[in-house]
Amino acid sequence: MSNSRNYIFGLSALLLASVSGPALAVTDEDLVKDHETPGDVLTYGLGYSGQRYSTLDAINKDNIKSLVPAWSFSFGGEKQRGQESQPLIEDGVMYVTGSYSRMWAIDTATGEELWQYDARLPEGILPCCDVVNRGAAIYGDKVYFGTLDAKLVALDKKTGKTVWRKTMADYKAGYSYTAAPLIVDGKVIVGNSGGEFGIVGAIAAYDAETGDEVWYRPVIEGHMGRMNGEESTMTGEKNASWPGDMWTWGGGATWLGGTYDPELGLAYFGTGNPAPWNSHLRPGDNLYTASTVAIDVETGEIKWHYQTTPHDGWDYDGVNELVNFEMEKDGQTIKAGAKADRNGFFYVLNRENGEFISGTPFVNEITWASGIDETGRPVYNEDNYPKDPTVVAESGLERDPVFAAPSFLGGKNWMPIAYSQNTSLFYVPSNEWGMDIWNEPITYKKGAAYLGAGFNIKPLNDDYIGALRAIDPTTGEIKFEVKNEAPLWSGVLTTAGGLVFYGTPEGYLQAIDDATGEILWKFNTGTGIVASPVTWEQDGEQWIAITAGWGGAVPLWGGDVAAIVKDFNQGGSVWAFKLPK
């Protein structure tokens, strides 16, 4: 957006602010209680736990067929691509981000734009998997989000005017930012993106008022953390699970954001794939990649970790969200966390200490491991590791691929799961696909792709790729599934009305019965949905909203699957629905 257009939007927002009065300040207590206050959506995940469950039941199984659009807001222009943002709702205003690091404030009653912010992105940004943004955070009188050139921005929530803008990392080295920030006790806690460029994954906290760095914690062993601008402690032990200097550019991007337990003071972040993909260059477990780490929010120290794919050779990553819930099992209540990992296993952990409780498949075909042992470590199928390219070359072959399932896009990728307090089930958007994968020689070069692998993704079935699955976390049993022809890439929402909402690449927002999986309602937005729905109450009515716009990693990285979805139309909009009066 031009400077003049920014000025016009800022001026109109200032006039609006002068009419409507001062903005209400969002407090720490508001964030802690977000899951209890259906009149707003203040956090990514509808609460710190990330359950994406709403207590609202005005829209339910009996009346869902009457749900209709109330308004639709277009993001406009040619900057469409993937729209993966979860909206925030506060005091009658929706804050929603879009592709190319943009944000809008929208009147939730009318769909009218209040202000728009466009980040001034430089040439040469290096987003690996589309130019997406997954959402904002809100605190005090500001809204916060990250940009594709690895900046953290604080905006005045009434006007959209920039309050501060801080550089988190060097975008020329491959760093970027796509997640929604997590705000705890006045600190904006963020991860980073860029694992395919040999960056160093890290989690950092910034002062919400000033933007100053509070602490910084790399998640690759051997790197030093910081506290208040001074070196603090080393992450792990140098060379304990990384050879030579491979830890220097070890990957592990923390690109999905975190959940939080206020009672324990721990934030939970997933970490990404080790770099490079060619695992023969980095023997060892390669801590703390492909893991969940529990971070003390006051100090930035890692309190525990659990690694789902040690020595990851398939880009299975481990960044998937840990959803906090109370699990009743054997007469006990366990402070648990659940995670549907890209590697195809559904994990339940003790979120107090990271102890392994269970790990069960949630996809039909897993070739890389035969299961999870009693310690929580995978039992590898050694012949399914991608092969050492030097050995392959010595045999006279250019490449010798193996077939692995799931594909590196995962049994589940970024799209958030949801937990229902109605059914005590998790609802997981999963995909059935595999890949031919082979390793290649590679050396690190700043700002260049650092893979050392080639691949081609293939569907496993003729009639479907995606499946929304309901999983009992106490047993790992899949209670039902709803198949979808194209891959699922949308997050999930559950409600006390007995409904589960999610989107499809074919363009549908649909609601299913949380007990049976029966599709009760669907509406086509005109473009594929790869975002997460939300719900809130306003003026005595329940609303549902979803961002729509086809894109994300599938059309960019999907191989044979990308050809299947090549005719899906892009777009950029947010839709709001309610029952007619």
Pairing of β 53-54 and β 492-495: parallel
Please give the Cα distance from 556 to 409 (Å, whole number). 11
252 contacts 219 by C-beta, under 8 angstroms = yes
| Whether residue 315 lies in the annotated active site | yes
Q: DSSP string spanning 223-279? A: PEEEETTEEEEESS-TTSSS-TTGGGG-B---TT-EEEETTTTEEEEEB--BSSS-G
Query: Are the C-beta atoms of residues 469 and 450 closer than 8 Å to each other?
Result: no
Sign of CA dihedral 313, 314, 315, 320: negative
Cα-based distances in Å from 442 to 240, 273, 279, 312: 23, 16, 11, 16
Q: Which residue in the list 156, 261, 285, 315 is annotated as catalytic?
A: 315
The 3-state DSSP composition of the chain as helix, strand, coil percent (nearest 5) reads 10, 40, 50
For residue 152, the one-letter residue type is L
d(CA 434, CA 342): 12
- Give the phi and the psi of residue 14 in degrees, each rounded to 5: -65, -40
Using alpha carbons, list the distances in angstroms from residue 136 to 296, 405, 571.
22, 34, 20
What is the dihedral angle through the alpha carbons of 396, 402, 408, 412, rounded to the nearest 10 degrees? 180
Report how far residue 227's alpha carbon sits from residue 229's, in angstroms, rounded to the nearest whole number: 5
> SS3 string of 397-460?
CCCCCEEECCCCCCCCCCCCCEEECCCCEEEEEEECEEEEEEECCCCCCCCCCCCCEEEEEEEC
> In the block, which residue shows the tokens 């102890």?
355
Give the three-state DSSP class for 554. helix
Report the C-alpha gap between 533 and 135 in whole angstroms: 12
Cβ atoms of 349 and 320 within 8 Å: the answer is no
Give Rg (Cα) of the chain. 22
Q: Strand, helix or coil at 19?
A: helix
Pairing of strands 230-234, 258-261: unpaired
Catalytic machinery residues: 315
